[in-house]
Amino acid sequence: MALPKQALVAALIAFVAGGGGFLLARHLQPAEPVIPEGVPRVPSADTRLEGQPAPEVVLNDLDGKPRSLAEWRGRWLLVNFWATWCSPCMEEIPLLIAVQKQHQAAGLSVLGIAMDDPEAVTKTVQELGFNYPTLAGDEVVLGAMEKLGNTLGAIPYTVLISPEGLIRYVEMGGLDAGKLDMLVHRFLPPAP
Amino acid sequence: MSLLLGVALPTLAADGFLKAKPKGDGLLPVDQAFQFEGVSREPKALVLRWSMAPGYYLYRHQLKVSADSPATLKLPALELPQGEAKDDPEFGPVQTYHGTLTAKLPIAAGQALPKTLRVRYQGCADIGVCYPPQTKLVAVR
């Protein structure tokens, strides 16, 4: 009689574990939009760009001065497209500030590009204490994103460019601490 | 232990735990995510309609309508239905609209109507990306 009882306990444990696994998976899996039948899908990030030279992009900084991405040649450049009206963008900014602080000595520069009104951007930059430069604009930012592989105009959108000016990574959607850590360890040289 | 894994892992795999996190492939262009269906005229209101694809929503606080022609024409406040409450981590309590949205611009008797309306809206995908504010100019007939 002992064997059926053990089997019953094992089955009960398995049932509880399976249910827990299901709930855990539901919790960890982000909601994905369901694309209706017949509606074309559009690739959001052109990963074919990875390994290709970064295109020339010139945008104004918050003082109205034109700045080129080529100015950061020689450093790893993490270009983050954001806006004040984009909640997922705002969520990742403290992480980008931390990454800039921790890894600038290893050759990483974060660059924010805001698709927004420069006044609103300036206010946010001051309030959040950005420690990296920010460029801003409206339609011209959409054009810059398109050059860098984002044809949808949706944000956040992040592109990592190597010191040689090659696109090494593109990401549509928010970056979390784990993903930023992965990028740093995958691409940057070890800290001196 | 092997029994535990044997039950738990297929459950996790089946529900996507072992799949890569979606990178946003399959996101819709903005005009398909948020289809603005234009303005129709009713006896006491101009009616504006949107249809959102599943997985996309508009923010109530980002919906704005003004007269474009003539731009000096003052319009009454847009009447919007109660939205879904969302506790946004950045913006605090906000309201959103999934599915369809019908908004009304009341017309008083004898009130001058604009020839063209300027309609502004902005929304996001549940997956965690947002689209730039859209502005549409629409003729009032």
Q: What is the interface pTM, i.e. ipTM, of the complex? A: 0.78
Tens of pLDDT, residue by residue, chain A (192 residues): 445 667 666 666 665 555 555 444 444 444 454 555 544 444 455 667 888 999 999 999 999 999 999 999 999 999 999 999 999 999 999 999 999 999 999 999 999 999 999 999 999 999 999 999 999 998 999 999 999 999 999 999 999 999 999 999 999 999 999 999 999 999 998 766
- The total number of structural domains in chain B stands at 1
Q: Tell me, what CATH number does B41's domain have?
A: 2.60.40.1250
Query: Which chain A residues contact residue B129 at CB under 8 A?
Result: 44, 88, 154-157, 172-174
Q: Which stretches does DSSP call E strand in B1-141?
A: 34-42, 45-52, 56-59, 64-69, 84-88, 92-97, 100-106, 116-121, 123-125, 129-130, 134-139
What DSSP assignment string belongs to A113-153?
EEES-HHHHHHHHHHHT--S-EEEESHHHHHHHHHTT-SS-
* Within a domain: B19: no
- Summarised one tens digit per residue, pLDDT across range A157-186 is 999 999 999 999 999 999 999 999 999 999
* Within a domain: B65: yes
Q: How confident is the model at residue B14 (pLDDT cuts 50, 70, 90)?
A: very low
The terminus-to-terminus CA distance of chain A in angstroms comes to 66
- Summarised one tens digit per residue, pLDDT across range B102-140 is 999 999 888 889 999 999 999 999 999 999 999 999 999
- Cβ atoms A186, A103 nearer than 8 A: no
Q: Closest by alpha carbon to A179, among A105, A125, A120, A99?
A: A99
**Which residues form the domain of B60?**
28-139
Beta carbons of B132 and A41 less than 8 Å apart: no
Query: Does A177 touch chain B if contact means CB atoms closer than 8 Å?
Result: no
Query: Does A90 touch chain B if contact means CB atoms closer than 8 Å?
Result: yes
Query: Does B4 touch chain A if contact means CB atoms closer than 8 Å?
Result: yes
* Within a domain: B20: no
Query: Which chain A residues contact residue B11 at CB under 8 A?
Result: 18, 21-22, 25
Architecture of domain A49-187 in CATH?
A: 3-Layer(aba) Sandwich (3.40)
* Within a domain: B16: no
* Within a domain: B78: yes
